[in-house]
Structure formats: structure tokens, C-alpha cells
Chain A
Amino acid sequence: MSITEDLKPLFYPESVAVIGASSNPDKVGNIILGVLKKTVKNLYPVHPKAEEILGLKVFNKIEDLPDNISMAVVTISASQTVEAVRSCAEKGIQIIVIVSGGFGEIGGEGTALEKELVSIHKEYGIRLLGPNSLGIFLPETGLDTIFVEHGDKALSGGGGIAFITQSGSVGTEALGLASNTGFGMRAFVGVGNKVDLTETDFLNYFAEDKETNCIAFYSESIDDGKIFLEKAREVSKKKAIVILKAGRTEAGQSAVSSHTGKLAGSDKVVSGAFRQYGIQRAYDEEEICDASKSLSMLPIPDGNKVAVITAAGGYGVMCTDYIEQKDAGIKLHLAEFSEKTTKKLNEVNLSFASTKNPVDITASAGDEIYVDTLEAVLKDEGVDIVICLTFFTPPAITNDLVKKISNKALEFNKPVITFAQYGPYTNKYLKEFYDLGMVGFSSVYRTVRAARFLVERSDILKTFGEDNE
């Protein structure tokens, strides 16, 4: 069976059982049941004694459940989980999300219990997500097994990013952060301890999913490393892949007697392998969200020439420094405008504006000058990316600027990244940009870093071209 069919009961279940459903509102088994109730029609709570929870009929034993249930969510203690999972398997339930913790992550007894889960999977062929998993969230249908706050309202609009995380809290915290200014989520998957389903399975699944255009991973260990990488190289030809690989391990003890072993210590092998296989690397939760948002929403530039438009000189200078920074890996350069562009910029701008890159339209400029300037630089063939440093304090700038910049930018197939000056309204403006299909950030550094991710993606696509020659 293909992975798409295998995981259908996980993403599109027709019926769901909650093992460990509870009437106590503080319990995970109550929160999950409540959230699932909003979208799942055939929902079956399982509890040894209760008769009714949240208005749903309770089943006292897994054996009593109806046949052909798509998915079960297990929220009971680790020691009880193994038997429950076996009963679910006996019952013919297709896939189980094991939210319960207390397995391999605590070692000892937990590791032994985890091994039992592996053997149940092998014996029955039942698919398992977790244990120690937050499960899934699919904005498309509202299906949600996550029991902690995760910016669900802000994310419910959906988008192209599949976010697969080994750590539940890193995943949800990242989403909370990203949702403040808009983040287009296709699906959230917590893989937890990965007794069965791994990163590779979800890479395979989202590779085939038409709505997904960017796949992001938070991962501490990639189990079947080489298989994952080979698949990633294939997928990367069509979809961007970003990984936050945490837990920078030292090379094995045996490998420290050579220079190579000592030099590899700081996980340089991982970075090299990612580069080789078309994977982009992020180093913290903010960076992976910024990168995946940009890669999912913006066109990929042909080159690395950046134009900057600003109404405040200082920010233009700072932005230039970041662009020309030599040790940042992926190189960016300030674009040099053509004569035609320069002529146009001089026409539309005030006499005291600076029309060289970075273009300083000055604090006396209004919306119209901003948008005419944007149009002129977008038309320049020597410009691959535009960074708009937007400010809302100059008197002639109105609240319509967000809409005007967005409309103009979206006429062209070049990435335009915006920066909104930090202040009490920043997130509101950035969210407005997002709702109009634009990507913006609250610091100059993050804005330029996003441009670097786009250029890195462009380089990866060119690399695939070279290798085919």
C-alpha cells in the first residue's frame, strides 16, 4: 500500500476513538475529545467506568467499540498504553496516535515498553504515531489532536507548509510565534519517539500531497539517515525542504584520533550532507518558521541581486551591511540599477531623495512615491529580490500603504519581502501583509535572512540543473 493510502486514516479519519477520554476538564483526554468533537462526526470515547462524556456515549472497553474505526488517540499512562494498543490492533483500528509519554525518552522501563509497541506494530501491521506525540493538526478540515495552545485560529486559514516535529513543544511554540504574523500551515505532525512512522514516511506523504509546497522538520535524530536524504533530494526538485536539526552531536568516540574526526565534531557532516541533498538548514524555531514561510509564499529569484527601498536612511544602511555580509554562507549583493531605472526613480522621487540602491525616498515621501519606486525597481532586469523597509510614521504615508505595496508587488514574479518597523502595530501590519499574500518580518536581520533562504533555494534548483547536464 502506498504511504498516501496508509496515512489516509490519520489525516482524513472517518471515525476516531479516544482511549483515556475523561470528564475532568484538566485532563488531556478531555481536552482532546473536546477539540475532536468540533470536526469528527463519529467520535467514540473509551473510559472503564463513565457512561457519557461531553454528551458522547462512552465505551467501557476497546473490545466494545464499533468495527472499522480509522484512528485511535491514546492518552493513558505508558504502562496501560501497551495493552490498549494491542487491543486496538486486535479490533482492526488502522492507525493509532500515542500521545502518552513515559517511553524511550525516560529510559529504563520506558524503553522496554517502547520495544513492546514496536513488536505490536510488527505483529499486526498497525501504523503507530508516537509515543510522546502531539499528533496532528490539519487546518483544511480542522482535525486536531493537539492539547496545547497553538495559534489554531490564526493558522486555520491553511497554506502550503507541512511541519513535522519530533518535539511537541518546540513545534507548538514555533507555531504560536509564527501565527502572530501569519503562517500558512498545511499540516502539523508530531512524530514523537517514532516507533513506527518517521520523518521519512511523512516526507514521502507530503511529497505526493498537492497542497504542500514546503516541508519543514524539527528533528533531533534522523533514523534512516541515508534513505531520508535520497528521498529529500528527489522531493527537493519540486518542494523546498527546511530542517532544524538540533542536538549537535560529537562524532563517535572512535573518530577523534584523526584531524577529520576532530573537525567533524561540530556536526559539519550534517550541514554538508544537507547541502548535498538539497535541504536547507535552520538553527532555531524562529528561523525555521521564517524560512518555511518565505519559501512557501514567495517566488524563487533567478539570482542574488537585492534592491532596497526605505524611508529612513539608517535602516537602509543597516540593511546594506547585512546584504553585503561576507561570512553568511549564501551570498547576496546590492543590485546596480540600469540607466532607465535610475531615470525613472529620479522622475518619481523628490529632488532630495537618494535614488541609488538602497533607495531612500525620505520621510517626506507618501504612498504614491513608495509604490512608483517599487514598480521602477521591480521592472529592472538586474534586480532579483526587493526588500521594502516600510514605515508608518512619515506624515504622507497612510494605512493604505500595505495594500498598495502588496498589489504592486504581486503584479511581478519577483520576491518582495517587507520589514515593518518594530512597534505596537508591527504584528498588525505584518498580518495585513500576510493576508494579502506577502511576507514580512519585524527586524532587518530577519528580512535579509529570508532573502538568503530564497537565494539558497534558487542555488539548489540550479545545482539539480547542473547535475543533469
Chain B
Amino acid sequence: MSNNNWIDGLNIPGKPDEWEVKELFKAYSIETPKGILLKPGMEFTGTELEQPLVVKVCDSKILHKSDIGGVKLNVKKDFGKVIAEMNHSFPDSSLLIEEMVPYSGLEFIIGALVDPDFGPALMVGAGGILTELYKDVTFRLAPISKMEALRMLNELTVSEVLTGYRGSKMDISALADLIVSVGTLITELGSSFNQLDINPVVFSDGKWVALDGMAILNL
């Protein structure tokens, strides 16, 4: 998939939804949870996905979906009922149904934006819903080398969780690779790129997985 095809194929021009953002991630070998998209009005006829599931409203017009009941976690046998409820609450929106990824340990955020003076810049830091409270983040201009990505991670206050703090086992090298990939992604989007959040990024079963993604493009 070329970036231009991806941009041209967006449901709402310039505003990719979570499903579309994750499709782009896959093209850059960024792991995402296994999932399916249920468009408005589509009947849900069962799934091969393994339970438990996550059901999310998937609509680029909704920025903070968990604040308005747009995310249901740990959905098991009653998924039919949950999906029906979500369809009722968000009749015009698609639903994203994903396998729930098990993980423990710290959540990270990887982000990017265009600085008015210096151009495209990458960010990594402590993620999750409290990311703006911790403010433990660092920036570099994109694209970057793996060495530079490692230096970013080592600058964070939380860096020690990546190097065995209290028995934590996370792969710092693979996280650096992921940052490099995001740098390549935004560089290749070129002038279309505006901003990106991947939050949280978690370490699950030996791999870093992007659980959520948000992107804004220039029209």
C-alpha cells in the first residue's frame, strides 16, 4: 500500500479513523491487535477473534472515545449484546472489534508533530491516560537513527523500566526500532503529515504493540 493510496482512500479526507491509522501502521511493520471493522448498519455474524475482546467506536470525529462510553474492555461471551448496545449509542459510527492484548508494565506513548521552526519531530515518553500529567517525554527531529532512538529512551525518567528495573523485562532495542519506524512513516507522509499519537504502546508476549492510534493530516 503506498501512502498516496492510503491518503486517497480515507473515508473522510484528511481524517483517518483508528482502523485506517492501524492499516497504515501495518504497512510499516508496527504491530497492532488483531481486529475487524464493523461499518454502520452491518450485521455482526460472529468472529474468529479470540476472547476477551475490546469493542471501540471507530470514528475520526470522536477524539476522546473512552470519555463518552465508546470503549468496552474485557468483552467475553456477551459480545453480541455489547455490540448491539454500542450500535445503538453510536448509530452512525463504525465499530472496531479487537482481541484484547494482555500486558503488564509501563505504557509508552510515541507521537509526532510538525514544529513550526524545525519541521517533523518525534516524541517518546511515559504513556497512558496520565501522559500529560507525567510530562516525561523527549523529542527529536525526524527521521532518526536507532542510536538516536536509544538515546531518547535513555533520557526518560522511566528509562530504567527498559533496563530491568525491579525485574521488569522489556525489549529496549525493539522499542527503539519502533520509534525509528514511526520516524520513517511520518517522513514518507511528507507534507500531508500533521500530527500523530500512538498511545498506549505496550509490551506484550515479546512484542511492542500499538493499542491505539490517532493521526491528523493536512488537507
Interface residues of A (CB under 8 A from B): 221-222, 225-226, 229, 249, 251-252, 254-255, 257-264, 268-273, 275-276, 463, 466-467
Residues of A contacting B131 in the complex (Cβ-Cβ under 8 angstroms): 259, 263
One digit per residue, 1 when the CB lies within 8 angstroms of any chain A CB and 0 when it does not, for chain B 116-136 equals 111101010100000110010
Residues of A contacting B139 in the complex (Cβ-Cβ under 8 angstroms): 264, 268-269, 271-273
Closest to A329 in B: B155
| A-B contacts at CB below 8 angstroms, number | 102
Given contacts A269-B121, A463-B151, contact A226 B141 (CB under 8 A): yes
In the complex, whether B137 has a CB less than 8 A from a CB of chain A is: yes
The answer to whether B141 touches A273 (Cβ under 8 A) is yes
Residues of A contacting B148 in the complex (Cβ-Cβ under 8 angstroms): 276
Tell me, in angstroms, the Cα distance from A276 to B118 when the chains sit together: 12
Residues of B contacting A270 in the complex (Cβ-Cβ under 8 angstroms): 115, 117-118
The answer to whether A258 touches B116 (Cβ under 8 A) is no
Closest 8 CB pairs of A and B: A260-B111, A272-B139, A225-B117, A225-B118, A258-B195, A269-B115, A269-B139, A258-B197
B154 to chain A, nearest CB (A): 11
A330 to chain B, nearest CB (A): 11
Give chain A's interface secondary structure class: helix
Given contacts A259-B132, A262-B132, A466-B147, contact A268 B113 (CB under 8 A): no
The A-contacting residues of B in range 41-63, CB under 8 angstroms, are 63
The answer to whether B138 touches A273 (Cβ under 8 A) is no
Residues of A contacting B118 in the complex (Cβ-Cβ under 8 angstroms): 225-226, 229, 269-270, 273
B55 to chain A, nearest CB (A): 23
Listed A/B pairs (16) with beta-carbon separation below 8 Å: A225-B117, A225-B119, A226-B119, A251-B113, A258-B111, A258-B113, A258-B197, A259-B132, A260-B109, A260-B197, A263-B111, A263-B135, A268-B139, A272-B140, A273-B121, A276-B148
In the complex, whether B3 has a CB less than 8 A from a CB of chain A is: no
The answer to whether B125 touches A263 (Cβ under 8 A) is yes
Interface residues of B (CB under 8 A from A): 63, 109, 111-119, 121, 123, 125, 131-132, 135, 137-141, 144-145, 147-148, 151-152, 155, 194-197, 199, 214, 216
Tell me, in angstroms, the Cα distance from A466 to B154 when the chains sit together: 15
Residues of B contacting A261 in the complex (Cβ-Cβ under 8 angstroms): 113, 195
Tell me, in angstroms, the Cα distance from A270 to B115 when the chains sit together: 9
Given contacts A257-B216, A260-B123, A268-B138, contact A251 B115 (CB under 8 A): yes
Most buried by B among A268, A272, A466: A272
Residues of B contacting A255 in the complex (Cβ-Cβ under 8 angstroms): 113-114, 194-195
Given A263-B111, A269-B139: 19 more A-B contacts, CB < 8 Å = A225-B119, A252-B116, A254-B195, A257-B195, A258-B216, A259-B199, A260-B109, A260-B112, A260-B113, A261-B113, A263-B135, A264-B113, A264-B115, A268-B138, A268-B139, A272-B121, A273-B118, A273-B139, A275-B155
Tell me, in angstroms, the Cα distance from A268 to B117 when the chains sit together: 13
Tell me, in angstroms, the Cα distance from A252 to B152 when the chains sit together: 23
B170 to chain A, nearest CB (A): 21
The answer to whether A276 touches B141 (Cβ under 8 A) is yes
